[in-house]
Structure 1
Amino acid sequence: MKITYNGFDENLLFEGLILPYFQDHEVDYGGVTLLNNNKLPIQYLKDKELFLGKKGEVHSISFSDGDRNLDVMLIGLGKKEELTGNVLRKAVGKGYRELKKKKPTSIGVYLNHVVEGLKCSYAIGRNTAEAIVMTDYKFDSYKTDNKKELLEEVTLLFDGIDEEFKNGFEEGISIGNSTILARVLVNEPANVLTPTDLAERVKNLGVEKGFEVEVYELEKIQELKMESYLSVAKGSAEPPKFIIMRYTGNPGGETLGLVGKGLTYDSGGLSIKPTKSMNTMKNDMGGASAVIGAMSAIAENKLKVNVTAVVAACENMISGRSYKPGDIIGSMGGKTIFIGNTDAEGRLTLIDAMYYIVNHEKVAKVVDIATLTGAAIHCLGHTATVGIGNDDEFFDMIDKSFNKAGENIWRMPIFEEYKELVKHSEADLTNVAGSPGTITAGIFVGEFAGDIPWIHLDIAGTAWAEKDKDYISKGGTGVGVRSLYYLAKEMAE
């Protein structure tokens, strides 16, 4: 499916048309030639309260003109003064999803009146393009009876097409596709996306997008004394892969570090999960997919910033070599860890990755992102990502980046009493510190970040969707890709 834009060529014809409408709108679109002189029954819809233009509302109308049928989807934007990029993104996504059910071969998205609420043509182009790209995705690669996609082209229609609109459009396409890339990685079954396969895909992406990729094999990982990471990996027949991505857009400048949890499958180890909980454990590398997608977008858009990302990829499986509850293991950072539960494995891979990126890649700031704890879901459900951090200014930057992406984040506190919980009588630390679990897990990882500004993001509740909604597709959501991209963009010169 092709996505483009046009400044209203009179010869344009579409089988589907998306018309945004404000709650306080007085326009009936009577002058829009694309409607073939058909008049929209706006007042009738208002009187019947079938469509008022409220946020989240959609309403479909069909017109027939000889051999041609036109399906119009009205989408509500709410009040003009309350319009944001994410309101537009959600409205376009919902309308597009509903209109595709009509099976048009072409769709036009009329954006002229949007400027009355969202004044910036760049934001209009970017958010609309993002919405179309992300909503269009669905995971059906393994269906053998897939029918041919009927929709061939989507055109954004806007009279004010300028360089800002074009730049926003191109960026929206790029970061939308980078989000899809992350969704694909999460959705791939674990028998296909092994640590080895993930490493190969990242190598190919590096060549395609323009960032350096280095992969450490088992021998090098052992040489670095990543005992915590290796303890998780050793129960699997699949070898671990330590993946390093480096993008240099500002030589001589400081470097942002990204650490993504990369469990391509998590059985729970000897603390085995119930079957129902294992069905979606291919998504336990949602953090890895987020940093991979972000790196792709950062490099593709040639941001003037330096970013290094690492992923300690492995599986958490069961064998005679598996690590056990009650074990005491070492770590690259030198601290010993008491194993209270082998299903608290993600933090064990993250701490060696964290210590490595801080001490070997010399990053100035670092963010780790992981599907880490069920406690995150108990705290915030599936609506928001849990965040904690040691630097207010840096956290303010990530907060703004999440807001720009339309992704929710909520900061949790780090009290001294919580720090005491991760300590253990038999070792320096324990990988199971009890409640509040989402905070203590993050603090455990933060023990290896040193003194630099650090943020921990727990996406256990936001990395996976059980159903389609707005521009989110069922399965992997790609959460974090755009937020991390905007963080890097904020740091760019």
Structure 2
Amino acid sequence: MPNVRLVAAPDLTGVVVLPVRPVAEPAEDGPAAELVEAGGALPAEVIAEATAFLAEAEATGTAGSTAILPRPARTPGKLIFVGVGDADEAGWRAAGAAVTRALGKGPAATVLLPAGATGDVVRGLAEGLHLGAYRFTVPAGFNEAGPEPADIALATGGDFAAELTTASVVAAATSLARDWTNAPSSVKSPEWLAGVMASAGDRPGLDGVGGRAEVTVRDEAWLTAEGFGGVLAVGGGSVNRPRLVEASWNPEGATTHVVLVGKGITFDTGGISIKPVAFMKLMRKDMGGAAAVIAAVHAAAALRLPVRVTALAPLAENMVSGSAFRPGDIVRHYGGLTSETTNSDAEGRLVLADAMAYAVDRLAPDQLIDLATLTGAAAVALGKTMAALFSPDDALATALADAAEAAGERTWRMPLADEYADGLHSDIADLYSAPPAVGTISAALFLREFAGDLRDRWAHLDMSPPSWSDSVDGVLAKGATGWGVRTLVRYLTTLA
């Protein structure tokens, strides 16, 4: 990530970044974009040249748009104009990502912020600067040092150190989740992933900032003794044995306890109900929910949020072999509920069910939230940019949706339609794992059965569609998005 810092006196000798916005009512022959007032830091002749350039370049000022004006042998030596759109936090976040990409591996730069810049402006810009710089590389993605970061100064008279720290921590945690999700499954066994999740507090951006999460890794013997039948069934076909990762942040005086559960399938062949090759290719991303919840707890600890939060990541590899579980098998989950397997490619809900039942029984949370790359049906319903949000709790659903919107991630609330619940009833078990119809809704209804006494304080986020980006888009790099980390940290902050 770049080195983003605050300065009171801007350096105008090198690269200077100037925020621009659309002109509210542009004249017929006038520019469509205008400079955002930057505290009078630039000489009048530079402002005049910049204004003329904006008209010639047909700059729009839309969020994330850029235009570059080289000025060799002059001061500043280069101007980068970046659009901030409506100049809200989202606009500044998009601007930050665009600036990072425009700079590339170039020299240090100074961003001239408006005199009235708020904390939201600084946080949004800094998050964008960090997230736009993300690249997954091997071995850098495996917790080793990456290239030397760029240096970007934010010129402002305000004291926004807290916002800068928050942006840095959240971006570091999001990048962490992206790294884990992007990592190839040839490396990413449940054991390996559990190990890097446990050591994530040592990652740059999270180490030495604030508190530190406590992480415990449970092995196959523990899972067997405790009755995690879903995790054991799904992981039974692989030579790479399953794990359960439990990460917790429990600050003194915390009065609210939130448990997060994330689906952690390190590779999904579909098992006996094998996937077509085209659908199997990207199944290294099927642990995106686990990556998000564990990274979010590390971020909460680094930020010292005054709320207790625990993340559970059941990790398994769903493979085809003589020991793989079969359609028609009966799985006994933690706590005793049984499910009849109707499709071994609907495996994520089986591992989530165990972890959710364990959370309710042993951790006594006030709220239970699960994240999972669960169903292709969610993409059919909502496309690639939204997660499906289910909760019987209106206040919880609204708070999560608001947090996602503020973070730049999107959700859409879906119904927990009880008329479909009858389809879950099996003749030989308590539940069918995957009834044939209404895929996303029936999956949520299945999970609700394992929320126990917390079913009215539970939320389910099916984030399969937005967990992966097919192209560079705003703060997203091509590949894993780390979806959910920013939403969860925002939500936990509201509880604080």
**TM-score normalised to the size of structure 1?**
0.90
Corresponding residue number in structure 1 for 2:122: 125
Partner of 1:291, secondary structure, is helix
Q: After TM superposition, give the deviation of residue 56 of structure 1 in Å.
A: 4.2
Partner of 1:40, secondary structure, is helix
8 Å Cα contact 1:248-1:306 kept in structure 2: yes
Q: After TM superposition, give the deviation of residue 41 of structure 1 in Å.
A: 4.3
Residue identity matched to 1:140: T
* 1:4 and 2:5 are equivalent in the alignment: yes
Partner of 2:363, secondary structure, is coil
1: distance between equivalents of 2:425 and 2:78?
A: 62
Corresponding residue number in structure 2 for 1:390: 392
Residues 330 and 107 from structure 1, CA distance in 2 versus in 1: closer, same or farther, beyond 3 angstroms? Answer: same
> Pick from 245, 248, 252: which aligns with 2:250?
248
Corresponding residue number in structure 2 for 1:177: 172
Please provide the CA RMSD for this pair.
2.3
Residue identity matched to 2:89: G
Corresponding residue number in structure 1 for 2:315: 313
Residues 21 and 230 from structure 1, CA distance in 2 versus in 1: closer, same or farther, beyond 3 angstroms? Answer: same
Q: After TM superposition, give the deviation of residue 33 of structure 1 in Å.
A: 3.8
Residue identity matched to 2:246: I
Residues 44 and 69 from structure 1, CA distance in 2 versus in 1: closer, same or farther, beyond 3 angstroms? Answer: closer
Gaps of 5+ in 2: 24-32, 141-145
Residue identity matched to 1:40: E
* 1:469 and 2:473 are equivalent in the alignment: yes
8 Å Cα contact 2:227-2:333 kept in structure 1: yes
Corresponding residue number in structure 1 for 2:344: 342
8 Å Cα contact 2:94-2:125 kept in structure 1: no
> Pick from 40, 57, 73: which aligns with 2:49?
40
Q: After TM superposition, give the deviation of residue 83 of structure 1 in Å.
A: 3.2
Summarize the alignment of residues 41-440 of structure 1 with structure 2, pairs less than 5 Å apart.
Answer: 41-43=50-52, 45-46=54-55, 50-65=58-73, 70-78=77-85, 82-100=86-104, 103-112=105-114, 115=116, 121-141=118-138, 152-158=150-156, 160-162=157-159, 165-206=160-201, 208=207, 210-251=212-253, 253-440=255-442
Deviations 1:70-100 (A, max 9, x none): 332212223xxx4321121012212331332
2: distance between equivalents of 1:252 and 1:372?
A: 32
> Percent sequence identity over matched residues?
32
8 Å Cα contact 1:125-1:166 kept in structure 2: no
2: distance between equivalents of 1:204 and 1:142?
A: 16
1: distance between equivalents of 2:20 and 2:81?
A: 7
Deviations 1:242-283 (A, max 9, x none): 111111124462310000111111111111112222221111
1: distance between equivalents of 2:126 and 2:53?
A: 31
Q: After TM superposition, give the deviation of residue 483 of structure 1 in Å.
A: 0.8
Partner of 2:263, secondary structure, is strand
Residue identity matched to 1:135: G
Residues 2 and 83 from structure 1, CA distance in 2 versus in 1: closer, same or farther, beyond 3 angstroms? Answer: closer
Deviations 1:188-217 (A, max 9, x none): 111212111111112223575511111211
Partner of 1:133, secondary structure, is helix
2: distance between equivalents of 1:392 and 1:462?
A: 23
2: distance between equivalents of 1:34 and 1:320?
A: 75
Deviations 1:132-182 (A, max 9, x none): 111111112259xxxx95863111121x222xx111111111111111111
Partner of 2:306, secondary structure, is coil
Q: After TM superposition, give the deviation of residue 378 of structure 1 in Å.
A: 0.5
8 Å Cα contact 2:217-2:246 kept in structure 1: yes
8 Å Cα contact 1:106-1:151 kept in structure 2: no
Q: After TM superposition, give the deviation of residue 292 of structure 1 in Å.
A: 1.3
Corresponding residue number in structure 2 for 1:19: 18
Indicate the larger mover: 394-403 or 180-189. 394-403
Residue identity matched to 1:88: W
8 Å Cα contact 1:105-1:150 kept in structure 2: no
2: distance between equivalents of 1:56 and 1:252?
A: 39
Residue identity matched to 2:101: R
Partner of 1:413, secondary structure, is coil
Residues 225 and 151 from structure 1, CA distance in 2 versus in 1: closer, same or farther, beyond 3 angstroms? Answer: closer
1: distance between equivalents of 2:246 and 2:446?
A: 22
Partner of 2:90, secondary structure, is helix
2: distance between equivalents of 1:255 and 1:220?
A: 24
Partner of 1:214, secondary structure, is strand
Residues 41 and 244 from structure 1, CA distance in 2 versus in 1: closer, same or farther, beyond 3 angstroms? Answer: closer
2: distance between equivalents of 1:419 and 1:444?
A: 8
Q: After TM superposition, give the deviation of residue 314 of structure 1 in Å.
A: 1.1
8 Å Cα contact 2:256-2:308 kept in structure 1: yes
Q: After TM superposition, give the deviation of residue 57 of structure 1 in Å.
A: 2.9
Residue identity matched to 1:70: G
Q: After TM superposition, give the deviation of residue 480 of structure 1 in Å.
A: 0.4
Q: After TM superposition, give the deviation of residue 432 of structure 1 in Å.
A: 1.5
8 Å Cα contact 1:245-1:310 kept in structure 2: yes
Q: After TM superposition, give the deviation of residue 367 of structure 1 in Å.
A: 0.4
**TM-score normalised to the size of structure 2?**
0.89
Partner of 1:65, secondary structure, is coil
Residues 448 and 434 from structure 1, CA distance in 2 versus in 1: closer, same or farther, beyond 3 angstroms? Answer: same
